[in-house]
Amino acid sequence: MILRIQQFRVHTVIGTNDWERHRPQEVFVNIELDVDARAAVEHDDLAGTVDYAALCERIQTQAREKRRFLLERFASEILNLVLAEAPVRSATVEVTKPNVLPAVQAVSVRLSGTNAPGA
């Protein structure tokens, strides 16, 4: 089953320019999860799938806790957090930073990862 979290607004301090280092900026996070949710479907029970509200809260907390220079780093941290969810088999995370350059609408980074069989 594919579970998507789309256009999740997150505020974090991120960037290499001096003006970016002083206050949080809004970035958007898209997450696509391949989840083994058979138990959730069969039993209509949240325990058998990803609690996406709790996952989003953990991502928000991670975003607030430290400053980063690179989107790549932030996307990697989110991917690691997502892959730690029990029923997640694989995931893709995209972090988009809007209005970073005058002539560019947005810059984004997309990373994918897979849990090893039996993990």
Each domain of the chain, given as residue ranges in start order, spans 2-110
Residue 29, burial from CB neighbour count under 10 angstroms (0-12, 13-18, 19+): buried
Mean pLDDT score, 9-38: 95
- Looking at every residue in the chain, the average pLDDT score rounds to 94
What is the separation of C-alpha 10 from the centre of its chain, rounded to a whole number of angstroms?
A: 9
Give 119's pLDDT tier (boundaries 50, 70, 90).
very low
Residue 54 pLDDT: 96
Per-residue pLDDT tens over the stretch 58-110: 999 999 999 999 999 999 999 999 999 989 999 999 999 998 889 999 999 99
Whether 108 contacts 94, CB under 8 Å? yes
Q: Structure tokens of 24?
A: 């949080």
Contact predicate 78/31, CB 8 Å: yes
As a whole number, mean pLDDT of residues 12-28 equals 94
Q: Where are the beta strands (DSSP E) in the chain?
A: 2-12, 25-35, 88-101, 104-114
Task: Give the pLDDT score at 108.
Answer: 97
Name the CATH code of domain 2-110 (choices 3.30.360.10, 3.90.280.10, 3.30.300.210, 3.30.1130.10). 3.30.1130.10
Which DSSP letter does residue 68 get? B
Please check the confidence at residue 117 and state whether its pLDDT lies above 80: no
Residue corresponding to tokens 């579970």: 3
Longest Cα pair distance anywhere in the chain, in angstroms? 52
